[in-house]
Amino acid sequence: MTLYTILVIKDEENDIRCESYGRSKKNNKWAGAINLYHGGFFHTTLISSDSVFKTEDGAVAYMQEIVKQVRALDLSKK
């Protein structure tokens, strides 16, 4: 994860959405993504995963945990 991605996610004014990317035809598992929206419209994907989650909810929950952990980071210089 790049510093840019961390800074975008940490900015709570950004419209960050955790979403699934559908089920793989190969392994029947779900992929997840953290996406950035502007004005209610999709702008870009910040993070995406391979299709490794058993459920759609599991993919979204994992992405939500990443956002939670990134937003909890203390980036202040000591």
pLDDT of residue 27: 96
Band of residue 77 on the pLDDT scale cut at 50, 70, 90: confident
Residues 62, 7: Cα–Cα separation, whole Å: 19
Does residue 78 have a pLDDT over 90? no
User: Positive or negative CA dihedral for 17, 51, 72, 36?
Assistant: negative
| Average pLDDT in the chain | 95
The pTM for the full model equals: 0.91
CB neighbour list of residue 48: distance below 8 Å, 6 or more residues apart: 21, 31, 32, 33, 34
pLDDT tens for each residue of 18-37: 999 989 999 999 999 999 99
pLDDT of residue 75: 87
Domain residue limits, the chain: 3-72
Does residue 71 have a pLDDT over 90? yes
**DSSP conformational letter for 14:** S
